[in-house]
Structure 1
Amino acid sequence: MTHPSSLAETLDLDVEVLHEYHRDLIDWVASATVDRPRVVDLGAGTGTGAVALARRLPRAEVYAVDVSDEMLAHLRRRADEAGVGDRVHTVRADLDQPWPDLGPADLMWAAASLHHVGDPGRVLGQAHALLRPGGVLAVAELDSFPRFLADPAGAALEERCHAALARMRRERGMHLDADWGALLAGAGFAVEATRRTDLALDPPLPAATGRYALVSLQRMRHGLDGRVGAADLAALDAYAADLDRADLRVRATRTVWLARRP
């Protein structure tokens, strides 16, 4: 088994394979803000949200915040390639530490980032303070990580492996099971809408699906040593070595909360 590919590649492949979902989500969120917004992307990663919002909102100024210099460099290249580099500004900051001056903001975007923070309530309180009255925060979180294997043995293997990783994340204090609606309300937001999407892609699939499955399974395999049996690890290695197959699929669930500062 090779070393797992970078998180940056995983994030970029997610957008490439699930492009219709991401496009529709960005359109929905962008429609909730003003014509010339100041946008802050919390935990921007490779810039999926920051760049897409800059393209969708041609009068926006976007501030992409992440703790990783590597991610911010990747994001900068991506923004320049998309022709929005003059309106996308990178800010290095740890969301669990005092924030630099990022506001006031009209729209804030947090996609699959808030479950990593130590104290979600405190971070949401900071976001509330940063927004102008009437400003919007969109929180997009993962209900489940993607599943790719369609045959019964492979599907059962994926479920066992994902269950083991879910236990590990809970042990490490991650917040994938958080009630974001309640947390948003507790921070003073009015939750205007909740959108849950069950993603189901069947063949014919986007060309990048095989690579997306490979990178995802490799990353999963990297965290499973000592958490599942040797037979499951060997089976996972075998699947990852044979992803040029006709029975791949993509299954995932995402939920987005759209909340406004009164």
Structure 2
Amino acid sequence: MHTNDHEHGQHGHGQHGHDVGQAELLDLDAEVLAELNGDIVDRLPAPPDVRRLIDLGAGTGAGTFALLARFPDAEVVAVDSSAEHLDRLAGNARARGVADRVRTVRADLDAAWPDLGAPDLVWASSSLHHLADPDRTLRRVYDLLAPGGLFAVVELAGFPRFLPDDAPADRPGLEARCHAISDRYHAEHVPLRGADWGPPLSAAGFVLDATRTVTVDSGRSGSAAVGRFAWASLQRMRASVADALDVADLAALDRLLDPTGPDSIARRADLAVRTQRSAWAARRR
């Protein structure tokens, strides 16, 4: 099981440019949504002297680095099933000068867990909905935490949107139709995406401290990072929607994804990032 990924198909479509790997997409997500991640971490009801942190399904480190910024004396154990993600995370840690505060552990959260120590805070972002037995994972986290320790769960409500509703000009509403197909696909293959984690956390013994949903709408942006994020995200989404898309819609999507074409999404100055993240802060009794 690969955790903390964008679940719009496992393979990018290689017709236009290079395939988009999960690690690359996660790095773009972290760059574009750094303020969102920082805001969620900053609002966690945790004391500033937290020292021992675990990031479950760490991906390439968006949560890890936000946690390290919030808790300057802390060390993070970053856990993921993907060696590629962890290698990228370790490289990012070296580049940020915090490698001495990060330990990477490769583990499948659905299998037996290695010794992760006794954390003060456990963070799980966009990872629980991938698990075969999330209730077991919640109980494992409860047992790991010291009394009074905090478990922070963050989940995406859906895939980010980028295009205006009337775009592209020849196929207005294309992105909404892609999302409708993607939502049906994920309702079947990733049914826990968008779930309310409050009741399962309570059932595992946690006391809910806080719940919030954060909505992001960046407004129109000419940012190169937003353009790369939009291109990479839509290219990856194509894998799960192509077979169900109208032929004309698929052709329009491919024109958007052609990096050298006149209709390339990379040339648009009207992109925006619109997304939601929900967060739960739960405490061990």
Aligned counterparts of 1:63 and 1:211: Cα–Cα separation in 2: 29
Aligned counterparts of 1:247 and 1:187: Cα–Cα separation in 2: 45
43, 55, 58: which is aligned to 2:69?
55
Residue 20 of structure 1 corresponds to: 35
Greater strand percent: which structure? 1
Deviation at 1:20, TM superposition (A): 1.8
**4+ residue runs over 4 A deviation:** none
> Please, which moves more after superposition, 207-216 or 171-180?
171-180
Residue 240 of structure 1 corresponds to: 257
Report matched runs for 1:151-190 at 5 Å: 151-154=165-168, 156-190=173-207
Residue 211 of structure 1 corresponds to: 228
**Does 2:153 match 1:139?**
yes
Aligned counterparts of 2:194 and 2:221: Cα–Cα separation in 1: 32
Matched-pair contact (CA < 8 Å) for 1:36–1:60: yes
- 2:125 partner letter: A
206, 224, 230: which is aligned to 2:247?
230
- Report the TM-score, using the length of structure 2 for normalisation: 0.86
100, 117, 126: which is aligned to 1:112?
126
247, 252, 262: which is aligned to 2:275?
252
Q: Where do 5+ consecutive residues of structure 2 fail to align?
A: 1-14, 259-263
Aligned counterparts of 2:180 and 2:221: Cα–Cα separation in 1: 28
Aligned counterparts of 1:181 and 1:36: Cα–Cα separation in 2: 23
Matched-pair contact (CA < 8 Å) for 1:17–1:206: no
- 1:193 partner letter: A
Among all aligned residue pairs of Structure 1 and Structure 2, give the percentage whose two residues are the same amino acid: 51
Aligned counterparts of 2:81 and 2:48: Cα–Cα separation in 1: 28
Deviation at 1:54, TM superposition (A): 2.0
> Please, which moves more after superposition, 17-26 or 190-199?
17-26
Residue 45 of structure 1 corresponds to: 59
SS at match of 1:134: coil
**Does 2:107 match 1:96?**
no
Residue 191 of structure 1 corresponds to: 208
Matched-pair contact (CA < 8 Å) for 1:118–1:173: no
Aligned counterparts of 2:167 and 2:221: Cα–Cα separation in 1: 22
| CA deviations over 1:192-214 (Å, ceiling 9, x no partner) | 11111111011345331111100
- Report the TM-score, using the length of structure 1 for normalisation: 0.94
Number of corresponding residues: 261
Q: Where do 5+ consecutive residues of structure 1 fail to align?
A: none
Deviation at 1:33, TM superposition (A): 3.9
SS at match of 2:31: helix
- 2:133 partner letter: D
SS at match of 1:203: coil
Residue 238 of structure 2 corresponds to: 221
Matched-pair contact (CA < 8 Å) for 2:142–2:204: yes
Aligned counterparts of 2:275 and 2:72: Cα–Cα separation in 1: 31
SS at match of 2:100: coil
